[in-house]
Amino acid sequence: MAMAQVVRSEWTKIRSVASTVWTLSLAVVVTIALGMLISALSKSEYDNMSAQDRLSFDPTFTSFAGTSLGQLAMIVFGVLVVANEYSTGMIRTSLAAVPQRGAFLFGKIAVATLLALVVGMATSFAAFFLGQAMLGDLKASLGDPGVLRAVFGGGLYMTLIAMFSMGVAAMLRSPMLSLGILMPFFFLISSILGAVDATQKVGRFLPDQAGSKIMQVVPPVGDDTPYGPWGGLGIMVLWVVAALIGGYVVLKRRDA
């Protein structure tokens, strides 16, 4: 009963601020548009590709190319949902209304996660179908082995990225600090680590690299990743759980 009240309250909160609309629409538009663009470019480049590249060409994964940029909007969404409570001072009003801090935090995260899941799934399916439309005769279909899993996984990936950001924001309690750490982390550091052989083995256990494995249908040639698509998503889930526990502990212990 009390939890239902918290969820209703958090739903009112999330739907009554503009940042929810613009972050989520940006995530949808960027992911789909960039995916379509890369798919169209890949189609025109396909004839010039080496035999090896053609062998590992993954039409499904190609249509998700926009995720790398679209996920940044998801990060902003996750960060703002939690950290705006702190930056505005609303947290004191919120905790006076719901002094059970665990119920407050997880009620909020549940509502934001559900919204991210709906938007993430819709985005993933739209990015797939529109991307495949750009690929013409190279296209994959939803019935091909592993494709439905990848498309479904794309929606889960977007949701988990948002959840991870919520946990980090609950730990750091500041939108600027949270974005200042998460943005470069996901946009730069992760890909830099992945680019160099020595650090690649570490880099692939980072949440985004492990999690994005679920969107792959055709593995790259010579792929020696020690986990499969679901294993990778599992690693990402562990990161998310750790971030949420960290956020909960900080909220529970510190003065508001």
Partner 1 sequence: MIELEGLTKRYGEKVAVNNLTFAVRPGIITGFLGPNGAGKSTTMRMVLGLDRPTAGDVRIDGKHYDELKDPLKYIGALLDAKAVHGGRSAYHHLLCLAQANGIPAKRVHEVLDVVGLTAVAKKKAKGFSLGMGQRLGIAAALLGDPRILMFDEPVNGLDPEGIHWIRNLMKALAAQGRTVFVSSHLMSEMALTADHLVVIGQGRLLADTSMADFIAQNSRSYVRVRTPQREQLLDVLHEAGITVAGSGSEVLEVEGDKSERIGELAAQHRIVLHELSPQQASLEEAFMRLTAESVEYHAHGGQPAGQQGAQQEWGAEWRRG
User: Under the rule (CB under 8 A), what is the footprint of partner 1?
Assistant: 2, 5-6, 8-10, 12-13, 16-19, 84-85, 88-100, 255-256
CB of 28 to partner 1, least distance (A): 21
Q: Are 116 and 74 in contact (CB under 8 A)?
A: yes
Which one, 3 or 242, has the nearer CB to partner 1?
Answer: 3
Any idea what DSSP says for residue 187? I
What is the amino acid identity at position 231? G
User: Taken in order 227, 231, 236, 242, is the CA torsion positive or negative?
Assistant: negative
Which one, 108 or 204, has the nearer CB to partner 1?
Answer: 108
* Cα–Cα dist 154/124, whole Å: 5
CB of 104 to partner 1, least distance (A): 9
What is the amino acid identity at position 144? D
Which one, 105 or 127, has the nearer CB to partner 1?
Answer: 105
Placement of tokens 């009390």 in the chain: 2
Q: Are 37 and 105 in contact (CB under 8 A)?
A: no
CB of 69 to partner 1, least distance (A): 25
CB of 86 to partner 1, least distance (A): 11
* Cα–Cα dist 151/139, whole Å: 14
What is the amino acid identity at position 116? A
CB of 58 to partner 1, least distance (A): 41
Which one, 8 or 201, has the nearer CB to partner 1?
Answer: 8
Which one, 8 or 54, has the nearer CB to partner 1?
Answer: 8
Which one, 95 or 130, has the nearer CB to partner 1?
Answer: 95
| Backbone conformation region of residue 136, classed left if phi is above 0, alpha if psi is from -120 to 50, else beta | left
CB of 68 to partner 1, least distance (A): 29
Integer CA distances (angstroms), 168 to 98, 99, 154, 220, 248, in order: 21, 21, 21, 32, 10
Closest CA to 165 of 207, 200, 123, 215: 207
